[in-house]
Amino acid sequence: MKRKTEEDVEEEQRRMWNHGGKWLRGPLIGKGSFGSVFLATSKKPRSQVSFFPPIMAVKSAEFSASGSIQKEKEILDKFQGCPYVIQSYGEEVTTNSKGEMVYNMFLEYASGGTLADHIKNSGGPGLDESVVKKYTKFILEGIHHIHECGYVHCDLKPENILLVPSSNGTDFVAKIGDFGLAKRGRQSQCRRLDPSLRGTCVYLAPEAVIDNVQEPPSDIWALGCVVLEMLTGKHPWDTKPDLNGEDILRLIGDKFELPKIPNGISKEGKEFLKGCLVRKPMYRLTAEMLLDHTFLAGLDDKADQNEWKRDSSGFSTIETENLSFSLVCDDWEYSSEEEIFFSDDEDDDGEEVESSGEFTVEKGQERSKSSFATCDGDRALMRTLTQVSTVPAGV
């Protein structure tokens, strides 16, 4: 009896899920504990009334087990139109070959793969600093928008930064994806502790490990880890061989430990990293402050909002020739040693939440007032604070 190959199994899985009303399911490009990710194409890509782009990614799961994906869809809708966050194109319920209901969420397809792929394939000890600056600016713009909307990503890492082709077709825009662990920011004095620890251990901030608190400053710490990894090609705690998840958590929880910033990085780069990798969250720079940091000087204030090539239906035009279907649009593999992951029943339906005035969310609109997510005062003052910082690294 002929043994089934991995490709045969993937093809069987694809066929089991079936197509949608206006789209065709393509190859399996990712699989994890919450479902599967497929490439998908619109049945009428050039239609004036098409709801979908010509090519996209679709996350699918049996409806009874799709709560996490549905929650992610609700959060992504809050960031619709932000050019630094992977866009959602909608949802649809279909049936599989067994007649069971299947939930599908449609996402922008990142043909450039993940930032982790890019770092791994760079062939050197990291990316060129000019490239790091560009990607950092994109990611920061996304983080700033997320925080302004009152959310915390909680799982920023290279695997969750996706590369989408720019308008000239020779470069990529880095966009934040995978909001499966995202949460509302809660910064009232009487806030309850989040019962779950979210994210990947090597990118967790000290306050997350010690106090189980994850707020906007936790994303800034994770950004510092991502920037350090782009510059060195290694994760931030890659100091000793054979470190497991528990060892890394002990390092993060040690008040005297910080990720090592190596030589060979520019002075501005080192200062940028020091502004992110501060142990006490109250002294960490905000996304808005970091956008004015000298490390990012000389870059455009914002990426061109028209970076996407638009076709007649208003979606990004993506070249479909020579597509590599091995590219995974989201990180769907979780390791018990490297990831800390628990489910959470937190309400994200936009209802009013308890607040002391620092952060408020009202039904029908989001309004944030957070000393972590935003900064009062003009940007000139922020530049001064960023460039002339008296906070020692490691505070």
59 known ligand binder: yes
Tokens of 376: 């009062």
> How many CA within 13 A on the CB side of residue 383?
7
Name the one residue in this structure whose structure tokens are 């204030």: 301
Q: d(Cα 196, Cα 214) in Å, to the nearest integer?
A: 10
Give the whole-angstrom CA distance, residue 45 versus residue 309. Answer: 15
The CA distance from 304 to 173, in Å, is 10
Which one of 8, 117, 128, 155 is the catalytic residue? 155
**108, 86 contact by CB (below 8 A):** yes
The CA-atom distances, in angstroms, between 253 and each of 130, 215, 227, 249, 367 are 32, 17, 21, 6, 33
Note whether 37 and 330 are within 8 A (CB).
Answer: yes
Is residue 247 part of the annotated active site? The answer reads no
Rg, Å, the chain Cα set? 21
Could you give the residue numbers annotated as active site?
Answer: 155
**Bind-site residues for ATP:** 59
**Bind-site residues:** 59
